[in-house]
Structure 1
Amino acid sequence: MSKQPIGIFDSGVGGTSIWKEINMLLPNESTIYLADSANAPYGLKTKETIINLSIKNVEYLINQDCKIIVVACNTATTNAIYILRDKYKLPIIGIEPAIKPAALNTKTKAVGILATKGTLSSELFHKTTDLFARNIKVIERIGEGLVELIESGQLYSETMRNLLKQYLQPMIDANVDYLVLGCTHYPYLMPLLIELLPNNVKIIDSGEAVARQTKAVLQKYDLLNNSIAKGNCQFFTNGKTEVLASLLKDTLDVKYLNF
């Protein structure tokens, strides 16, 4: 089984920010990335719909003989991870906003969270926030429209810039010193975020932690690929292949898949 691929899915292209971290840490592992861009964003959908879409994605990856599944989507994790783990026997890694390190390290006692509606309204997110940020001022903002702009290839458009200004201003006014990115699409906004935020604000996402956790789980179940050869990486989308390919840059294998 160790030669089998790691399966990764997201509501669209954003989860490639997680894939990059996994590929950097485990370059000899083969991966299959599934971008459900036709249904992006998940953050505006009902919990039932998010669960059904997540099951569909996992079923596809299992049929491709994946040995482990990484849910590279905050909304899918916070709404469906427990159901997925209960339904399937193989290991399933989730992702959620990195509120814990922000709350533990803030000096101003104020942190900002930029995420989708589906993540911010989820039970899992509220439990995590209550546990680690009880005495911290948390400024939550739904990044409405951001995923759609990224999925349509308008990453650095004026519309994107104006939306970000609107979402970040309440956080700046509250003197946050940490911004938590609660959607895997958002790391691609890093250049704009750095430009728009004060210099003292640290931006954190969960990508590196997810990669480390993936490695730890593979080790635990003796699933690490010990080959020295570089892994085979495949990318599938039911959206625009050129948008996915533009974020990968290395002209990796990107295919359209009607799923």
Structure 2
Amino acid sequence: MNPDSPIGIFDSGVGGSSIWREIHRLLPFENTIYLADSKNAPYGHKSKDEITALSIKNTETLIEMGSKLIVVACNTATTNAISVLRDTYNIPIIGIEPAVKPAALQSSTKKIGILATKGTLSSILFHKTSSAFSKEITMVEIVGEGLVQLIEAGKIESDEMTSLLLEYTAPMIKENIDYLVLGCSHYPYLIPQLQQLLPSNIKILDSGEPVARHTQNTLSSLRLLRKDTNAPTLRFYTNAETETLAALLQDFSEEISVEKKIF
């Protein structure tokens, strides 16, 4: 495997670009390819077999494009399909899970909120992870119905979004949580609004930084870190319209290309 080969990243849509941001911040000279499977978003309502099939399709596309490592930047795909991907492909594959463990260990009120998709909250992997802490911690699990669709539609700042966030955070506030775990890679784009809606004592955790560190450590251990300090190639592909993804990445507009691709 060539260290100059790109890191491949896929998500059910545009949300995994929040994970890409953390990877690019930590590894600014790495070439990257990002696939937004927005045509099939959201994954959260699909069956395990459907999610696995889509994850296989995305993984094979990234392998064909020469990726040296793949990041599954989707909680639902990770919790439902990553074991199959790792058993099937001879390439390092990194997943993303809700940050339940750090929230549970750091909580003072012993009550944490988890905002995620139905596909993540109902998965065996999530149940296994959360059950390790459920005896000591009260977990207020809320399905973020409709949030991914609004983000995919470019309606992050809409009244409809605010209304949904108020509805979903109300039971968490009532239960006196002190940590809110974001269990979907789309949701970090909602942090500014959530910070306005939540009491100041509630800390918000997402998985971007830990995934980036894991990516760095894995590449380092395999001696696959890119040594070239010239500007990297940063490619983004979506199988839907390009406007939403380009808008989320507008602060990188001079460095990246966002293209429509059939996959």
| TM-score (normalised: structure 1) | 0.99
SS of aligned partner of 2:44: helix
Q: Does 1:257 align with 2:257?
A: no
Residues 147-167 of structure 1, C-alpha deviations (whole Å, 9 max, x = no match): 000000101100000001000
- Partner SS state of residue 113, structure 1: strand
- Give SS of 2:23's match: helix
> Which residue of structure 2 lines up, in the alignment, with residue 42 of structure 1?
43
Q: Give the corresponding residue for 1:224.
A: 225
2:187 aligned partner: 186
Deviation at 1:132, TM superposition (A): 3.0
1:183-235 CA distance string (max 9 Å, x none): 00000001110011000000000000000000000011111111111211000
How far apart in 2 are the matches of 1:256 and 1:132? 42
Letter in 2 for 1:258: I
User: What letter corresponds to residue 161 of structure 2 in structure 1?
Assistant: M
Report 1:1-259 matches (<5 A). Answer: 1-249=2-250, 250-251=252-253, 252-259=256-263
Segments of structure 2 that go 5 or more residues without pairing to the other structure are: none
The 1-side partners of 2:41 and 2:35 are apart by 12
Q: Which amino acid aligns with 2:260?
A: Y
Contact preservation (8 Å) 1:178, 1:203:
yes
Unaligned runs of 5+ in 1: none
Identity %: 60
Query: Does the CA-based 8 Å contact 1:2-1:222 persist in structure 2?
Result: yes
**Cα deviation 1:1-36 (Å, max 9, x = unaligned):** 100000000000000000000000001100000000
Between the aligned partners of 2:230 and 2:84, the Cα distance in structure 1 is 35
Q: CA deviation at 1:102?
A: 0.3
The alignment partner of 1:132 has SS state of coil
In 2: Cα distance, 1:112 partner to 1:248 partner: 28
8 Å CA contact 1:99–1:133 kept in 2: the answer is: no
Compute the RMSD of aligned alpha carbons: 0.6
Moved over 2 A (4+): none
Instruction: Say how many residue pairs are matched.
Output: 259
The structural deviation recorded for 1:133 is 3.6
What is the one-letter code of the residue matched to 1:135? E
How far residue 39 of structure 1 moved from its aligned partner, in angstroms, is 0.3
- How far 1:97 sits from its partner (Å)? 0.1
Structure 1 Cα separation of the partners of residues 76 and 190 of structure 2: 18
Q: Distance in 2 between matches of 1:107 and 1:214?
A: 30
| Post-superposition offset of 1:134 | 2.6
Q: How far off is 1:44 after superposition?
A: 0.4
Contact 1:8 1:32 in 2 (8 A): yes
Question: Which one-letter code corresponds to 2:49 in the other structure?
Answer: E
Give the TM-score normalised by structure 2.
0.98
C-alpha displacement of 1:131: 1.4
Q: Read off the aligned partner of 2:43 and give its amino acid letter.
A: Y
3-state SS, counterpart of residue 138 of structure 1: strand
For residues 72 and 121 of structure 2, the distance between their equivalents in structure 1, rounded to whole angstroms, comes to: 17
Q: Is the 8 A contact 1:2 1:225 kept in 2?
A: yes
